[in-house]
Structure 1
Amino acid sequence: MFRESTYCFVRMLLLSLIVSVAIIGCSDEGGYEGPKKVEATDPSKPITFTDFFPKKGSVRTLIFCEGSNFGTDISKIEVIIGGVPAPVIGSSGTRICAMVPRRSERGDVMVRIMDQSGRLQKEYTFDEKFTLNSALQVNTLTGKIDPQTNSSSIVNGTFEEAEFQNPWWLEFDVDEEGNKIIYCIDEENLAALRKINLTTREVSTVFMKGQAGVHQVKSMLFDTPTRDTLFLVDDNGRGNWNDRHQMPNMFYALRSEGFRKVYPYLYGQCSYSAVSMQDGTIFYNTWETSMVYKARQIYDAPSGMWDGKALFSVKSNSNDHVFMFRHPEDLYVYMTGFNGIYRCAYDREKKELVSSVLHVGDIGGGSGYVDAPGTSARFNRPRQGVFVKNKEYVAQGKEDVYDFYVCDHYNHAIRKITPDGEVSTFAGRGSVGIDGKVEGWIDGDARATARFWDPTGICYDEEEEVFYVADRSNKRIRTISVE
């Protein structure tokens, strides 16, 4: 199948060839001259600007600035669109080509020309502005499937080379060198912990399954106060048993050791998730009765271990895969499970969670796909979610200024839940064919075109305003951003 991502690659390749001919290989009179020598501006002549084109377009549109005496040394040329630096691709001396960057909505086009020593020689802002046609887009970041076997494995390397077995859960981080990192649980039962370096565009393996008794890791989280510890929550296969000290249900790894060594943290029944509050308090949940515990509260002298304190069952003593998420301001803890989103408040004085209340989804736990408010909404196995600050809520002075975005696993979509409980589809389920399928691997407009296949993990880069999605059955990491 000729996919959208292949189309984009071919389109960019053709654009590159066009730019090469238009800028490097053509004289002002229209004849072919071959590659030109890279030169700076002629200081004895004025630098002039006449126009730029096109006047509107999307992100990555090629924009041409015309004039004279620009020089051909692009290291001495800067183009800034809407206050954002634009990659300069080439210059013929009379025409500069740059690529429109993200978040350049302001539209003013400025060009800065430097002399040989790097001093500013000319700065010019065009009277007209560039109109950015922006849209929410889904793209593929990394991961692939062998076309011969229709399979993938754990393969490290560049973004173009890397493969994932079944990416499941994501956590965003910035390391000591300032590199932006995504940690990925590869396979629901943790075949490996993968490291996706967004800065160097490389994928590596932190550790493989089996360390320190690691059995079936279902989720991970950083400790909120310092982010120096990475916790791994384990379904250790022990659902209902009396001796709680047989197997760990939580492990930890340290930043100082590159998260490569894993140590037992808690022993208990099989667990699926945990949250670390700003004050350092940790809560976790178990499979049996979906019980929520406060960690390390009761000291067991015979074993020399700290047990958790049972608080409440998420839903009427029922068993399910429940995943917990801390509100950035510690107002709530959200929990996904029973085909709904549950919410409980955090009492900061007592350092306790208040019993959970269904926020959105079917009261009886029935599955489906419906965008609607509150209990009229329907989900089909919601998994990892992430809170994102809404600037409009901030301007309105609302108490809770965060929306919650969640992977709706079997609905093959990313859903958005407002603080008031309005549910909508944010991305996925686009370009439905005559077969009625909504799953697949298609990049493009987030709602009109894009498809996911079993998305389960999600994280967010607040600075770049980019979502990253673990697209499990597509075996790829996808992005969602305004382009």
Structure 2
Amino acid sequence: MKVEKISKRWRSFHAIWLSMVMLCFVQCKESSDGGDEKPVAYDPGKPVSVTGFLPKGGGAGSNLVVYGDNFGNDVSRIKVMIGGKIAKTVSVKGNALYCIVPSEAFDGDVNVYILDEAGEEELAGGEAPEVFAYERKWVVSDLVGKYYEVGTQFEEKEGPFDDCGAFKNMIWFTFDPKNPNQFYIAAESSNARVVDLETRYVSYFRTPGIGRKTVILWRPDGDRDLLTAENHASDTRNAFYTFSRSSNFTQSQVINQVARGVNGAAVHPINGELYYSLYRVGVVYRYDLETGTNKVAFSNPFQSTAVFIVIHPSGDYAYITNYERSYILKSEYDHVNKIFRTPYPVAGLANSNGWSDGVGTSARLNRPVQGVFVKNPDYEEQGGDQYDYYFCDKENHAIRKLTPQGRVSTYAGRGNNGTNGYANGDLRLEARFNQPTAIAFDETRNCFYVGEQGNWIIRKISLEGE
């Protein structure tokens, strides 16, 4: 996935440049208008023309100066259209106006219209001889689920995207490796569900007799059968179940492995062994799905903490997320002995909840949960690890990004240690989340899906218009 990037240095330069343009615009107008003379009003006896604009391109929210003739001096009587969308006009002085680029102005044609005194009918207008190069931004929108302002009105059901109710207790998303149109939702004490992106329909994934489902995985066999874990509090009960693809995931078989308090689990993408964590004992185990043998892979630094495991697509390492301790560790894989090694911290500092971007242990997280590796084509030339890691920072109400070099940044949401809400739009300026916990990346459609425990809906992060 290629995320559009603008460096801080460029942003500063752009702001200074635009300020100079606007200052020049004002000074030139004051000079041409004779200093204290009032700006000239629109003259109905003359045509309206648009001769150009600056800058030549940009995204939604960008500042734009449009040049031409006979724009008048009344902002309320001017309508600027960019790519068929109405732009907010800020100021005007006869032969130039200042406006804000609207969202989804994809076509880029620039038109200026003069309206009647009521601000309704178009009296005259002109079109720029060139088009504005609109740059699509990554934005947050709703994918599926109903947002309930009054929680007691909550409803959950099977149905199309516009009539399936809401989603409670989401904790883990996973795509079916043989069907890129379907992803599964593990929701602990609520119903597991299946989202079909092609038919735009939500159905239940029924797991009779299985309680809190904390994760949904896929076996490495040819059929890619579904594997789920139950988070229970018994020292004598099995915790893992396989649902066969041949039965359309309706028939299950228990795996003979007792485990209590399973929060996180993952299957190695190359060698196929299962790794899982136990809440109370602070241990990550390695279970061989073929032989049924089980042994300790490594000890987690803390007991009594939910541990989530995400393995890199290469299988070379895994991120081990300590939820209550608010930090992420890295465990490297021993390819000879086929087991993960003792992990070390790479993002955040144990027991130091907070919000700050930075490198390694200088960053601060607040109860991180699921993450997903996403290939970054910008890394191709430099070689090495090609993937960034995007993860849900639940109590910071944000999606964060961890680079291969260990730098943590805030990708979407306000962050700032506790600013939550429900709003779509620009990733940082407008979008607001409420306890995001589950995330998946759709390689087919080049977008993210985010499940929120606070808003009970699934959000989408994508390029505008996609």
Which bin holds the TM-score, normalised by the shorter protein? 0.5 to 0.7
Correspondence list, 1:136-175, <5 A = 136-146=138-148, 150-166=152-168, 167-173=170-176, 175=178
What SS is found at the alignment partner of 1:410?
helix
Correspondence list, 1:232-243, <5 A = 232-238=228-234, 241=235
Which of 324, 329, 332 aligns to 1:342? It is: 329
Aligned to 2:404: 419
What is the RMSD computed on CA atoms of the aligned residues? 2.9
* Kept in 2: contact 1:228–1:256 (CA 8 A): no
Mapped pair 1:460 → 2:441: yes
What SS is found at the alignment partner of 2:206?
strand
Find the aligned partners of 1:461 and 1:298 in 2 and give their Cα distance: 30
Deviation at 1:318, TM superposition (A): 2.3
Find the aligned partners of 2:134 and 2:362 in 1 and give their Cα distance: 37
What's the TM-score once normalised by structure 1's chain length?
Answer: 0.65
Extract unaligned runs of 5+ from structure 1. 1-54, 60-101, 108-126, 300-305
The 3 A distance-change label for structure 1 pair 365 and 129 is same
Mapped pair 1:280 → 2:266: no
What amino acid is the match of 2:341?
A: V
What amino acid is the match of 2:253?
A: Y
Correspondence list, 1:27-426, <5 A = 131-146=133-148, 150-166=152-168, 167-173=170-176, 175=178, 180-186=181-187, 188-189=188-189, 191-208=190-207, 211=208, 213-224=209-220, 226=222, 228-238=224-234, 241=235, 246-265=236-255, 266-277=257-268, 278-296=270-288, 306-315=292-301, 317-337=302-322, 338-362=325-349, 364-397=350-383, 399-426=384-411
Find the aligned partners of 1:225 and 1:320 in 2 and give their Cα distance: 31
The 3 A distance-change label for structure 1 pair 146 and 283 is closer
What SS is found at the alignment partner of 1:289?
coil
Find the aligned partners of 2:454 and 2:240 in 1 and give their Cα distance: 27
The 3 A distance-change label for structure 1 pair 376 and 226 is farther
* Kept in 2: contact 1:283–1:292 (CA 8 A): yes
Find the aligned partners of 1:141 and 1:248 in 2 and give their Cα distance: 35
What amino acid is the match of 1:205?
A: Y
- Counting matched residue pairs gives 342
* Kept in 2: contact 1:236–1:270 (CA 8 A): yes
* Kept in 1: contact 2:274–2:289 (CA 8 A): no
What amino acid is the match of 1:406?
A: F
Deviation at 1:463, TM superposition (A): 2.7
What's the TM-score once normalised by structure 2's chain length?
Answer: 0.67
What amino acid is the match of 2:344?
A: V
Find the aligned partners of 2:135 and 2:297 in 1 and give their Cα distance: 50
* Kept in 1: contact 2:397–2:418 (CA 8 A): no
Find the aligned partners of 1:395 and 1:129 in 2 and give their Cα distance: 33
The 3 A distance-change label for structure 1 pair 342 and 227 is farther
* Kept in 1: contact 2:225–2:245 (CA 8 A): yes
Percent identity of the aligned residues? 33
Per-residue CA shift, 1:394-453, capped at 9, x if unaligned? 1222x21111111011111001001111000010127x9xxx961111001010000000
Extract unaligned runs of 5+ from structure 2. 1-55, 61-103, 109-128
Deviation at 1:173, TM superposition (A): 2.7
* Kept in 1: contact 2:357–2:409 (CA 8 A): yes
The 3 A distance-change label for structure 1 pair 342 and 225 is farther
Find the aligned partners of 1:335 and 1:149 in 2 and give their Cα distance: 33
What SS is found at the alignment partner of 1:160?
helix
Find the aligned partners of 1:457 and 1:155 in 2 and give their Cα distance: 20
What SS is found at the alignment partner of 1:256?
helix
Find the aligned partners of 1:392 and 1:406 in 2 and give their Cα distance: 20
Show structure 1 runs of 4+ deviating over 3 A.
55-59, 127-130, 145-151, 224-227, 296-299
* Kept in 1: contact 2:347–2:359 (CA 8 A): yes
Find the aligned partners of 2:222 and 2:412 in 1 and give their Cα distance: 32
* Kept in 1: contact 2:328–2:346 (CA 8 A): yes
